[in-house]
Chains A and B, each alone.
Chain A
Amino acid sequence: MKVLCVCGLGQGSSLILKMNVEDILKSKGIYADVDNTDASSASFERCDYIITSAEIAESIRNVNAKIIIVTNYFNKEIIGAEIAEIFEGL
């Protein structure tokens, strides 16, 4: 499974999100390929899920991936609840 964390410029916020998403998935025993990038590349990457904020989500056009919006990049509980469908599907 491939998960992409996206922010505006690919410089920082997506990395924070990526670190937290990785930790959450690992704690659920899920092995997934988590990567981060900026909004312009996100539309072309092949992945299952795109995790990002509401503003960025609007500018992403990706036919294959499911876009999930998170509201707090720092809080693992909130992120965990918002991305729950990733591990509930398993």
Chain B
Amino acid sequence: MLLNYQIYRLLGTAMNSTSPVGAGEVMEQFGISKSAAYLLIEDCLGWLEENVTSVRLSVENKMIYFKTSEERLSVSKRIGQIRPKDYHFSAEERLLYSLILLVRSPKVPIEGMTEVFQISRNTGRADQKRMEKLLSEFGLVLQKQKSGFHIAGKEYDSYRLCLWLSSYLLNCLYTEQTAILFSLYSLKEEHVEEICRKLSKLMKGYSLEYNREGGYLFAISFLLITERIKYNGAIKPDEIPNYDQTVGYHEKLFLVLKHAKLLESYVSPDLYRRDFYAQGMRECFGRILFYTGVETGSDVAPIRVAQDDLSFYAHHIIKKYESYAGLRFEDANALNQSIVISLKTVILRRKYQFKVCNALASEIKKYYSHILEITKNALEGTPYFEHVITEEDAIPFAVNFLGWMYKGKPITSQTLHILIVCSANIGTSLLLKGQIASLYPGAVIHTAVIGSDYSNYAEYIDFIVSTVPLVTNDIPLVVVNTFLTAHDKYQLERMGGNKQGEDANYQRFVKDFIFMAKDFMPSYDIKVLLQRLNSYFMTNKGKIIYETGGKPMLGDLITKERIQLVDQVDGWEAAIRLASKPLEEDASVEPSYTEAMIDSVKRLGPYIVLAPGIALPHARPESGVRAMSMALLKVSEPVYFTEEKYANLFFVLASTDGTSHLDALRELSIIFSDHSAMEKFMNSQTRDELYELIR
């Protein structure tokens, strides 16, 4: 069986998970139906059986679970050996693979493609069309000659394509697990790591920040471009648009590139000895270095934009957003800095004409389109955005705003300490931080960058959350997706145990609110409304207070006066009326409620008989409940609703809202989960005895 994209992703999920991955998790992560999930799991198990002999998984369980690190290692190793002939490429992957091939080689023979992918001529033609369309977005053309295909157009445009291809590989296709990049696409991991290392070390030397993601993005673009330079030659300055007028990169970056000696290591010496070639290459790589830094959140250098100050514009964008969204951000200075970086990203994108794939773009468009709309409106009128603001432009800003909106309440006291480790991409760490804060309100959240020394935190951190696997030296670790799936939350909850946030009252309110609101709106709207409420309480410094300590228990609702015992009654209607009488008498319910209860049985049948002998008559609160209450009637002779359904015990339930009686019901459920309970009830002869049973 060939490896394919889905199986690869599933393997990645399983390798990062501490518990078995089953159909439910697969359905959610891949957004597929249950049967599709089972098929995928089956395929994955099949592939493992054929390819990784040291892993023995039970096919019956229909779950993927790697118990030992040796198993994970063997899977990683096998993935590292994957070649195109062992892989089934999806249409998307074919497109990418072909483009990468075309970019790196002067000519690609026609059969080369169809053979690698094992596709028909028609599919090949369709692929070709898609390639041409994509290339045209960069001003490039696919030329077909007898010797094969090749890309024609301006050299600078092909460099732009290389940057885009790298971002697509890293951000869109193989986000969680990059291992396959190095085996399938013949990129050398050592080279990428070496470039990243050199750059970050040199950057640090100049007190500049440059994160791992920027490094990877740069490194892969760099490697693709240098392969191109080998057969196409280097780029000359006059081939670079805006060469004289560019914003330019800081002297420090120039020195970083120089000292990294990257050109020397990867490009033929006679090319860069010729001065204007060297200048051209340095300008291009300098731009890409600068851009990849800013695009991934490192502020590598100031942009001098005439006299204007970007943070002045950032301030206005934030204010406009606040007024459209109806909220106020805490810590606006930090937000301002992030917005400034986003501004730089978009400005540079337009100036250099660079294009990069954003990993979060599709999720944001799908789940937060309303936030995107507000963001676009807030951006309007900003200088540099005189043209139409596209969704692509708005996305980095939307990510910032989302992250800040998720931020929880101020911390009142210390409960859980959670460390979030990210690769310093502003988007990921903000979003993750916000979601963790909502899951654990009141928890203290620390952040660290990948590669730092986590042992410093070992003293007081409860657990670490990360989007990539880490070596943590005994501190418990949970690996999650940027947008937490239900499985991620389940894993996180297992970690956190039962520690709740400080404001238990607010939590209780939220829980009850969700329960009641479910009847009226879809869960997504409820979530949004709760976010608004949360902001509202925060900005108005509001607090929820419950007068009574907790919720009423069964014994509070069924008082002794509300308990009755009789030998027999004339039919179920009489039984309900009798059972309800004490509640009518103490004015907890109106007579209309009793009638409503009887009515519902007439309409729906005896669904109120929950188990042989036990009935729970009830109706909606609006039908006449004055005060929350319950009553109990015991009839020695069984009362029949139909031939089969009968009851001896009638528990009348009158609730005022959707939720306050839930604890009492839970108690009831626990009482009757005991098999001997029914007998005890039937043997009771007095009110007191019955009351003892329910207290």
Bind each other = yes
8 Å CB interface, A38-88 against B: 38-39, 41, 48, 53-56, 58-59, 71-76
B23-45 CB mask vs A (1 if < 8 Å, else 0) is: 11101000000100000000000
- Inter-chain contact A73/B611, CB cutoff 8 Å: yes
List chain B residues, Cβ under 8 A from A33: 24, 486
List chain B residues, Cβ under 8 A from A8: 600, 604, 607-608
Bound: A8/B653 CA distance, A: 14
Whether A55 touches B620, Cβ cut-off 8 Å, given contacts A12-B655, A75-B675, is: no
- Inter-chain contact B607/A1, CB cutoff 8 Å: no
- Inter-chain contact A1/B24, CB cutoff 8 Å: yes
CB of B557, distance to nearest CB on chain A (Å) = 12
B666: interface (CB < 8 Å): yes
List chain B residues, Cβ under 8 A from A48: 34
Bound: A58/B604 CA distance, A: 9
Bound: A37/B619 CA distance, A: 14
List chain A residues, Cβ under 8 A from B672: 74-75
8 Å CB interface, B525-582 against A: none
List chain A residues, Cβ under 8 A from B612: 71-72
List chain B residues, Cβ under 8 A from A74: 610-611, 614, 669, 672-673
B109: interface (CB < 8 Å): no
Whether A12 touches B665, Cβ cut-off 8 Å, given contacts A72-B610, A72-B612, A76-B673, is: yes
- Inter-chain contact B23/A1, CB cutoff 8 Å: yes
- Inter-chain contact B673/A20, CB cutoff 8 Å: yes
- Inter-chain contact B611/A11, CB cutoff 8 Å: no
The residue among A71, A74, A90 with the most chain B CB atoms within 10 A of its own CB is: A74
- How many of A's residues come within 8 Å of B, CB to CB? 34
Bound: A38/B675 CA distance, A: 28
The residue among A48, A71, A90 with the most chain B CB atoms within 10 A of its own CB is: A90
CB of B583, distance to nearest CB on chain A (Å) = 15
- Inter-chain contact A9/B665, CB cutoff 8 Å: no
- Inter-chain contact B607/A7, CB cutoff 8 Å: yes
- Inter-chain contact A56/B62, CB cutoff 8 Å: no
Bound: A55/B25 CA distance, A: 33
- Inter-chain contact A15/B665, CB cutoff 8 Å: yes
Q: Could you say which of A12, A59, A76, A90 contacts B616, with CB atoms under 8 Å apart? A: A12
Bound: A7/B653 CA distance, A: 14
List chain B residues, Cβ under 8 A from A53: 607, 609-610
B205: interface (CB < 8 Å): no
List chain B residues, Cβ under 8 A from A72: 610-612
CB of A38, distance to nearest CB on chain B (Å) = 8
B658: interface (CB < 8 Å): yes
Bound: A13/B661 CA distance, A: 12
Q: Could you say which of B490, B609, B620 contacts A11, with CB atoms under 8 Å apart? A: B620
B80: interface (CB < 8 Å): no
CB of B575, distance to nearest CB on chain A (Å) = 17
List chain A residues, Cβ under 8 A from B519: 10, 37-38, 41
List chain A residues, Cβ under 8 A from B604: 8, 39, 55-56, 59
A22-38 CB mask vs B (1 if < 8 Å, else 0) is: 00000000111100011
- Inter-chain contact B34/A19, CB cutoff 8 Å: no
List chain A residues, Cβ under 8 A from B675: 75
List chain B residues, Cβ under 8 A from A13: 607-608, 610, 616, 618
Whether A32 touches B611, Cβ cut-off 8 Å, given contacts A55-B605, A75-B673, is: no
Bound: A54/B610 CA distance, A: 11
- Inter-chain contact A73/B610, CB cutoff 8 Å: yes
CB of B307, distance to nearest CB on chain A (Å) = 56
- Inter-chain contact A12/B618, CB cutoff 8 Å: yes
List chain A residues, Cβ under 8 A from B616: 12-13
- Inter-chain contact A75/B487, CB cutoff 8 Å: no
Whether A19 touches B600, Cβ cut-off 8 Å, given contacts A11-B655, A33-B486, A73-B610, is: no
B668: interface (CB < 8 Å): yes
Bound: A30/B154 CA distance, A: 57
B389: interface (CB < 8 Å): no
Bound: A18/B34 CA distance, A: 21
Q: Could you say which of B34, B487, B655, B662 contacts A31, with CB atoms under 8 Å apart? A: B487
Bound: A16/B608 CA distance, A: 12
Bound: A10/B490 CA distance, A: 26
CB of B536, distance to nearest CB on chain A (Å) = 27
B22: interface (CB < 8 Å): yes
Q: Could you say which of A11, A19, A38, A58 contacts B666, with CB atoms under 8 Å apart? A: A19
B1-35 CB mask vs A (1 if < 8 Å, else 0) is: 00000000000000000000011110100000010
B442: interface (CB < 8 Å): no
CB of B327, distance to nearest CB on chain A (Å) = 30
Bound: A10/B658 CA distance, A: 9
8 Å CB interface, B244-261 against A: none
Residue of B with least CB distance to A7: B607
8 Å CB interface, B654-674 against A: 655, 658, 661-662, 665-666, 668-669, 672-673
Residue of A with least CB distance to B24: A1
CB of A55, distance to nearest CB on chain B (Å) = 3
List chain B residues, Cβ under 8 A from A73: 610-611, 669
B606: interface (CB < 8 Å): yes
Bound: A39/B603 CA distance, A: 12
CB of B56, distance to nearest CB on chain A (Å) = 19
Bound: A21/B195 CA distance, A: 55
Q: Could you say which of B61, B620, B666 contacts A9, with CB atoms under 8 Å apart? A: B620
Bound: A19/B138 CA distance, A: 57
B78: interface (CB < 8 Å): no
- Inter-chain contact A16/B24, CB cutoff 8 Å: no
Bound: A10/B695 CA distance, A: 25
Bound: A53/B606 CA distance, A: 9
Bound: A38/B600 CA distance, A: 13
Whether A31 touches B673, Cβ cut-off 8 Å, given contacts A8-B600, A11-B655, A12-B661, is: no
- Inter-chain contact B600/A9, CB cutoff 8 Å: yes
- Inter-chain contact B610/A90, CB cutoff 8 Å: no
Bound: A63/B661 CA distance, A: 33
Residue of A with least CB distance to B661: A12
CB of B686, distance to nearest CB on chain A (Å) = 24
Bound: A59/B607 CA distance, A: 12
Bound: A15/B62 CA distance, A: 30
CB of A88, distance to nearest CB on chain B (Å) = 11
5 A-B pairs whose Cβ atoms sit less than 8 Å apart in the complex: A7-B607, A12-B665, A13-B616, A15-B665, A31-B486
| Given A32-B24, A33-B24, A72-B610, 13 additional A-B pairs, CB 8 A | A11-B620, A13-B618, A15-B665, A16-B669, A30-B22, A31-B24, A37-B519, A53-B610, A55-B605, A74-B672, A75-B611, A75-B675, A90-B61
- Across the A-B interface, give the 9 residue pairs with the lowest CB-CB distance, nearest first: A55-B605, A73-B610, A74-B672, A72-B611, A55-B607, A16-B669, A74-B611, A1-B24, A8-B604
Interface set of A (CB-CB < 8 Å, partner B):
1, 7-13, 15-16, 19-20, 30-33, 37-39, 41, 48, 53-56, 58-59, 71-76, 90
